[in-house]
Structure formats: C-alpha cells, structure tokens
C-alpha cells in the first residue's frame, strides 16, 4: 500500500477521491499486486496410497463361465481369508468381455502388506487340482517383470571375493571373549578386556533389530528380528549380513544345536474373533535361506499336550536332538510325540510315537535318546511313568513307574551321563506333597537308577542344577527367605555307583544356581526378592570364596570359558540399569551403567578341537603353558600401575592448582576483610593480643520479708 501512495503522490493523484472498487484490471493482469485469496484458487493435490504392497496377483486359476463365477470366488476367498483379512471388495477376477469367462487370474487386496507377503509365501505353488497350481506374485512386482528383456543374455560373471572368516574372533591374541548388549536403540558387540578393566567396542549399530538379538549355539552367527523376518550376521569385526529369512511378523527364533537350521515362529490374529490365533512355523536352512519345512495351525494345536493340554504355545515348539548332527527334531501333541528327521523333513517311519497322556519330553544333550513323562491315568490305576526311547529305532531303553505323583520335571546332565527326575508326590492323606529325585545313570548297564530323598522330605525344592561336564549337582531347598543349599555327588568315595551328600550350607539368601561352564565353581544368587545377593562358592574345596551384592540384579551370565561372570539389571527396573563384570572368584572387575538396558549375551564358543587326552596333558603341565600369560599379565599390571600413577599425579596437580587459585583469591580479598572487621587483620592466627574482660550480669532479683520476732 505504501508503494501505491508513493506512486499516487508522484502523479499528483488524490487517493481519497478515487473509488478503488470501481477499478477493473485487464483479465490475467495483477500489476504485481498478489491477491490475498490467491491460495483459494489452487487445487489441493490428491493424496494417493503409496505403492500396492498389500495386493497379490493369483495366476493359473480355472477359466469358468459366468454361472460358475460365484463358486470359484467362494473357493478362493476361503483359501486366502485363512491367512489374513481381505478388504471389502478386495477380491477381483477380470472377465473376458467377449466370452464372458474369467481370464484365469485374480487380484486380492489385504489390510496389510505383511498379510499379502505371507499369502504369497504360503500359497505360491498351491495345488488346487491336477491342472491348476497357483502362481502368486506381488502386484508391485509386475513392473519388474515388465522390464525383463525379450532376448536372454548370459548373466555377468563376477569375480569371487572371499568373505571374512566367521571363526576369526576365536584367534584373538589376548584370548578374550565377545558379548552383545542392547540399550535404548543401540546394539553393541564388545570384547571383554578384563585386564584393562573395561570393554573394547567391536561394532555398534542403531536400530539393528526390532525386538531382540540371539547368538547361534556355536557363536558363528548373530540373529536379528524384524517385521519382515529374521537375518543372520557374522564376522569378528565387520558383522556383514549373511542371509535373510522371510517370515512376516516373526516373533521368536531358535537355532538347531549344530547351527544348520533356524526355526521361526509367528502368531496371527484370526479374521473371526471367536477363532484362536493362527500359528506359522518355518524351518530354514541357515546357509541357503531355503524353507525346508513349514507348519501351520491354530495355537491350540501347538499347545503343550496338544488340544487337550495346557492352553498357550510353549517355546521352543520343536526340540532338537543332541550333538552337532542336527538329525532329528520333535514336538509333543495330544497323546503323541512326533519325531522328524532332517534328511527328508518327514516323520520317522511316517508316523508319530503314541504315548497316552504324554505331558513332557526332552532330548539327551549328546545322544539321540528321548526322555518322556506321562502322568497317572484312571485315578491312579495306571501309574505315572518316565521312559527312555532310542531314536530312530523307537526302542524303549528304560521305564520307571511312579506312584502318587503330583508332577515331574526332568534335568539332563550336559554330557548326557545322568538324568535327574524331580518327582513331587502326594502324601497318604493327599492334602500335601513332598519331593524326591529319581537319578538315572545313562551309561551304566541296564541304566540303573537310584532314589534320593532330602533329610526333610517336606522341604520345598527351589532350584536344581547339574555341574556341567561333572558328576555333582546342587539343590536349593527349604523355606524362604533363608533356604538351605545342598551339594551331592553321583560318586561315593571309591564307589562310582552311589550318590553321596557332600555338604549342606544353611540359611542362604539364594533362589537360583549358576554353575561355571567349566564346573567346580558356582554362584548362589538371590535375584528378584533377594535384591541381588551373590555368593561365589568353590565346590571342590567346599568353601565360600566371596560374597557380594548387585542391587536389583535380574540376570547372571557366565562367559563360555568360566573365567568371568556378568550380573545385570535390565529395564524391568527403572533404575540402576547396566551390568557388572566379576572374576570367577567374586572380584568386581568393572561396572558399566546403561539407561534402558535390555539384553546381555556372551558369544558362545564351539567345543574345543583338542582331544580329552591333550586337554588332560595341558592341565598337568599348566605351569609351563601359563608362563607366557603370566608375563603378559605382569606387563599389563605394570601398565595399569603406570596409568594409576599418572592418574594420581594428574589429580594432585589439579588439587594444587585449585589450592593456588583459592590462595590468590584470599590475598585479593584481604583489604576487604580488614574493612569489614574495623581495620583488624585476623588472617594470621598467631598474631593476637589477649585481653581479660570482666562482665557483671544480674541474673535474678527477689524480695523477702524477714520477721525479727
């Protein structure tokens, strides 16, 4: 407006006499004056849904006339609505306008891209009948197919570039172990550098996983979980992605012991609220990423004991036979145990093992032997039993009948030498229970067993744990808050066939047992309600090495060598999140605090390549081998001592600088202090004049009448 007034003044025009509303500009001309309503003339851009990731194309459908159209649509809808929710008007089959017949394909639109991906994965190759095998594609892939050249051209041969050795981390010169942690949005892999009393970062990545990470059993791979599926990564320092495994909405994963196969699990909400969740389980080849076998069904079908058992899926659904061969895996169903072999991924002998009312089973860690438990039937007329089956012959190696049983739990020793069965039995009145153990010697002739009962049969069993690779086991029993801990051996002096009690330590604040992977040492831990009480115990000498506390500790993890142990506080608690690293004998080495701390996992080590004889020879001549490491430890100790001296020197210099600064300020303020004290200089306490002053003070006045009679 200022510009208009200036122009009018220059032309000697009186604006007050001009009717601005009567001025009409030529069409399309604004003379540089932009209208306030200009934005109203602009059309709002239409917003389109980005991509068609939730649409699939199903080809190789039957070509049918108009009268059979509704029937075919019903069949297709029934197949694909089991996988996900099809949108309203989300199924469209094009029709030839001349013949009025379908064109042999259709489009299906789901609510989410994940459902569409799952539908493609599960129905591509679906056999409707002998002549019609579905070919399913994503709608977004059509553009890619359109770009396929008409003439074939040989693919470009790329030169071979060797990848990183996935076992290279095992050759670390300092013989350190790695671990992975998740805190906030970051996932980090670190070396445990206990000599330097701190971890050393190997690899760090933000948003590496959407839920959790998991090492493979031999430490070769690190698996991450995403909405589209799982991925495995490998290496010592770079952690390159090796393989992807497509499984939309995957929730859980599990490796086979030899790392050959990966099992993934997802649960999908049904389209009908009255139905149960639909479960999808895939078994992948780890190296190729190929699906070797899949299992689908309702959650009830994968519940413990099948449809007649406890509701809810127990993970892992499939349990793998022991050893690195990965030859067999099995699952429990209603009155059956289904054992599959991995050569063809079919049932052994094409049928399941019938076991009436079977409730639980577990594999030997080293041999293809199944231990199973079936409870009582017919009100006790048919006793409960524990059986050992050889696979693949299905021969029953041993059976033990158990009477008045309330519950059973089975524990294998890590070498498969022993099996402990914890048996809760009813008393004669059926009003209470007591606990005992059935101990089986698997390598003995006819698999003998022995019954072990505690001195106080009414003691509650809080925890049980075998010594790894050993013959001892520990039991926490009694009443909280101070139960007892007892140690037993499967040997008795020179008699290797009898159980003997080693000792009982009374009144311990412990509710969990953590043996060192190398045996001999154990941590008696008081987690949760016991606020992280820790006792480091030497079972060989039957003595406590150290006691400590990690307040609010939620987890205890030994490293695979048994040299170090970590206690951690995860984000289940809002405060004190982080982890402590201890030596095997209970010395705190260092502490790391991390906000929103979710996960700590040591990287597993594969079994030693040394023979038992060589390991025994090294143990006998340990002093000869340890000289090198003792020298290294001494060098590190001197280095740390030097670092400590430097640190103390820096602290002293900082203190001296602080004192000097305050002396300077004190001197600068001397005149001001004298002024405030009426000219008195009192900085030097030795220079003073003593004055004696007498002060009289009237404390009280009283009047009293005295009689002279």
- Selected residue with higher pLDDT from 8 and 279: 279
In this predicted model, what pLDDT tens digit does every residue of 570-622 receive, in sequence order?
988 888 899 999 999 999 999 999 999 999 999 999 988 888 888 888 888 88
- Selected residue with higher pLDDT from 28 and 344: 344
Q: What's the burial of 239, exposed, middle or buried (CB within 10 Å: 0-12/13-18/19+)?
A: buried
The confidence band for 302, taking pLDDT boundaries of 50, 70 and 90, is confident
Mean pLDDT taken over the chain: 86
Q: Please compute the mean of the pLDDT values over residues 46-68 and round it to a whole number.
A: 79
Q: Tokens 């200089």 sit at which residue?
A: 681
Report the range of poorest mean pLDDT among 86-95, 129-138, 149-158, 331-340: 149-158
- Selected residue with higher pLDDT from 253 and 480: 253
pLDDT of residue 162: 80
pLDDT of residue 31: 53
In this predicted model, what pLDDT tens digit does every residue of 436-476 receive, in sequence order?
999 999 999 999 999 999 988 889 999 999 999 899 999 99
Strand, helix or coil at 206? strand
The confidence band for 493, taking pLDDT boundaries of 50, 70 and 90, is low
Cα separation, 444 vs 452, whole angstroms: 18
The confidence band for 40, taking pLDDT boundaries of 50, 70 and 90, is very low
The confidence band for 268, taking pLDDT boundaries of 50, 70 and 90, is confident
> Does residue 292 register a pLDDT over 80?
yes
In this predicted model, what pLDDT tens digit does every residue of 109-142 receive, in sequence order?
998 887 888 888 888 989 888 899 999 999 988 8
pLDDT of residue 145: 80
Going by the DSSP 8-state scheme, the letter that residue 273 receives in this structure is T
pLDDT of residue 155: 84
Q: Which of 436, 279, 306, 292 is nearest to 361 (CA)?
A: 306
pLDDT of residue 265: 93
pLDDT of residue 355: 92
Q: Is there a contact between 363 and 330 (Cβ–Cβ < 8 Å)?
A: yes
pLDDT of residue 644: 78
Cα separation, 576 vs 595, whole angstroms: 8
Q: Whole-model pTM? A: 0.71
Q: Please compute the mean of the pLDDT values over residues 150-156 and round it to a whole number.
A: 85
Tokens for 303, please give them. 């519940």
pLDDT of residue 580: 96
E-assigned strand segments in 32-101: 55-59, 86-92
Q: Which of 386, 368, 384 is nearest to 376 (CA)?
A: 384
Q: Tokens 């982890």 sit at which residue?
A: 579
pLDDT of residue 308: 38
Counts of helices then strands in the chain (DSSP H, E):
7, 43
pLDDT of residue 49: 44
Q: Which of 306, 433, 415, 418 is nearest to 359 (CA)?
A: 306
Q: Which of 96, 101, 98 is nearest to 69 (CA)?
A: 101
> Does residue 166 register a pLDDT over 50?
yes
pLDDT of residue 46: 34
> Does residue 497 register a pLDDT over 80?
no
pLDDT of residue 487: 96
pLDDT of residue 160: 84
> Does residue 45 register a pLDDT over 50?
no
User: How far from chain centre, in Å, is Cα 98?
Assistant: 59
Between CA 457 and CA 463, with CA 458 as vertex, the angle to 5 degrees is: 90
pLDDT of residue 37: 46
Q: Tokens 């009312």 sit at which residue?
A: 357
Q: Please compute the mean of the pLDDT values over residues 540-556 and round it to a whole number.
A: 95
The confidence band for 635, taking pLDDT boundaries of 50, 70 and 90, is confident
Cα separation, 268 vs 298, whole angstroms: 9
In this predicted model, what pLDDT tens digit does every residue of 184-213 receive, in sequence order?
999 999 999 988 889 999 999 999 999 999
pLDDT of residue 687: 62
The confidence band for 82, taking pLDDT boundaries of 50, 70 and 90, is confident
Beta-carbon contacts of residue 605 (< 8 Å; ≥ 6 apart):
170, 177, 218, 219, 560, 561
pLDDT of residue 707: 74
> Does residue 378 register a pLDDT over 80?
no
> Does residue 44 register a pLDDT over 50?
no
> Does residue 178 register a pLDDT over 70?
yes
The confidence band for 502, taking pLDDT boundaries of 50, 70 and 90, is very high
CA torsion sign for 613, 617, 620, 625 is negative
> Does residue 38 register a pLDDT over 70?
no
Phi, psi of 661 (to 5 degrees): -65, -40
> Does residue 392 register a pLDDT over 60?
yes
């Amino acid at each position: 407006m200022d510009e208009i007034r200036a122009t009018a003044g220059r032309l000697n025009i009186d604006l007050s006499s001009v009717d601005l509303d009567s001025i009409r500009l030529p069409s399309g001309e604004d003379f540089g004056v932009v209208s306030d309503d200009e934005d109203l003339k602009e059309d709002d851009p239409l917003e389109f849904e980005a991509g068609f990731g939730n649409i699939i194309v199903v080809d190789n459908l039957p070509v049918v006339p108009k009268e059979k159209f509704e029937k075919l649509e019903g069949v297709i809808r029934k197949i694909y609505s089991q996988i996900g929710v099809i949108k309203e008007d989300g199924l469209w089959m094009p029709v030839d306008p001349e013949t009025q017949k379908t064109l042999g394909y259709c489009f299906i639109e789901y609510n989410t891209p994940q459902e569409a991906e799952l539908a493609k994965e599960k129905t591509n190759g679906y056999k409707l009948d002998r002549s019609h095998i579905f070919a399913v594609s994503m709608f977004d892939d059509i553009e890619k197919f359109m770009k396929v050249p008409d003439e074939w051209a040989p693919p470009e041969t790329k030169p071979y570039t060797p990848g990183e050795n996935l076992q290279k981390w095992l050759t670390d010169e300092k013989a350190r172990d790695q671990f992975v942690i998740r805190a906030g949005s970051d996932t980090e892999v670190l070396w445990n550098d206990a000599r330097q009393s701190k971890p050393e970062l190997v690899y760090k990545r933000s948003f590496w996983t959407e839920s959790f990470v998991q090492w493979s059993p031999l430490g070769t791979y690190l698996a991450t979980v995403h909405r589209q599926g799982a991925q495995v990564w490998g290496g010592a320092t770079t952690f390159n992605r090796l393989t992807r495994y497509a499984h939309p909405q995957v929730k859980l994963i599990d490796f086979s012991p030899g790392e050959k196969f990966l099992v993934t699990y997802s649960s999908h909400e049904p389209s009908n609220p009255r139905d149960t969740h639909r479960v999808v389980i895939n078994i992948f080849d780890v190296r190729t990423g190929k699906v070797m076998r899949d299992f689908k069904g309702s959650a009830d079908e994968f519940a413990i004991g099948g449809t007649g058992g406890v509701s809810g899926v127990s993970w892992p659904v499939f349990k793998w036979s022991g050893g690195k061969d990965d030859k067999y895996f099995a699952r429990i169903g209603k009155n059956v145990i289904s054992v599959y072999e991995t050569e063809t991924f079919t049932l052994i002998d094409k049928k399941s093992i019938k076991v009436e009312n079977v409730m639980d089973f577990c594999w030997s860690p080293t041999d293809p032997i199944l231990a199973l438990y079936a409870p009582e039937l017919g009100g006790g007329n048919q006793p409960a039993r524990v059986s050992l089956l050889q696979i693949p012959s299905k021969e029953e190696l041993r059976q033990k009948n158990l009477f008045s049983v309330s519950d059973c739990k089975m524990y294998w020793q890590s070498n498969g030498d022993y099996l402990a069965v914890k048996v809760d039995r009813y008393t004669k009145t059926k009003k209470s229970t007591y606990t005992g153990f059935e101990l089986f010697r698997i390598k003995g002739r006819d698999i003998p067993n022995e019954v072990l009962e505690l001195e106080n049969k009414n003691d509650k069993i809080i925890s049980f744990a075998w010594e790894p690779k050993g013959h001892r086991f520990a039991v926490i029993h009694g009443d909280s808050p101070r139960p007892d801990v007892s140690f037993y051996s499967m040997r008795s002096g020179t008699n290797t066939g009898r159980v003997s009690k080693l000792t009982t330590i009374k009144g311990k604040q412990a509710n969990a047992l953590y043996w060192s992977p190398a045996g001999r040492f154990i941590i008696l831990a008081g987690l949760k309600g016991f606020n992280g009480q820790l006792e480091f115990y030497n079972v060989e000498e039957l003595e406590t090495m150290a006691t400590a506390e990690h307040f609010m500790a939620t987890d205890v993890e030994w490293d695979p060598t048994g040299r170090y142990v970590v206690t951690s506080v995860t984000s289940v608690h809002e405060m004190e999140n982080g982890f402590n690293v201890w030596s095997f004998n209970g010395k705190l080495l260092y502490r790391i605090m991390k906000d929103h701390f979710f996960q700590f996992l040591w990287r597993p080590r594969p079994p030693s390549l040394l023979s038992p004889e060589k390991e025994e020879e090294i143990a006998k001549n340990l002093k000869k081998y340890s000289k090198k490491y003792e020298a290294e430890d001494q060098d590190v100790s001197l280095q740390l001592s030097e670092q400590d001296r430097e640190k103390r020197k820096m602290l002293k210099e900082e203190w001296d600088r602080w004192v000097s600064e305050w002396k300077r300020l004190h001197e600068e303020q001397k005149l001001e202090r004298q002024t405030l004290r009426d000219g008195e200089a009192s900085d030097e306490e030795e220079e003073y004049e003593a004055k004696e002053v007498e002060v009289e003070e009237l404390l009280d006045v009283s009047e009293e009448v005295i009689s002279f009679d």
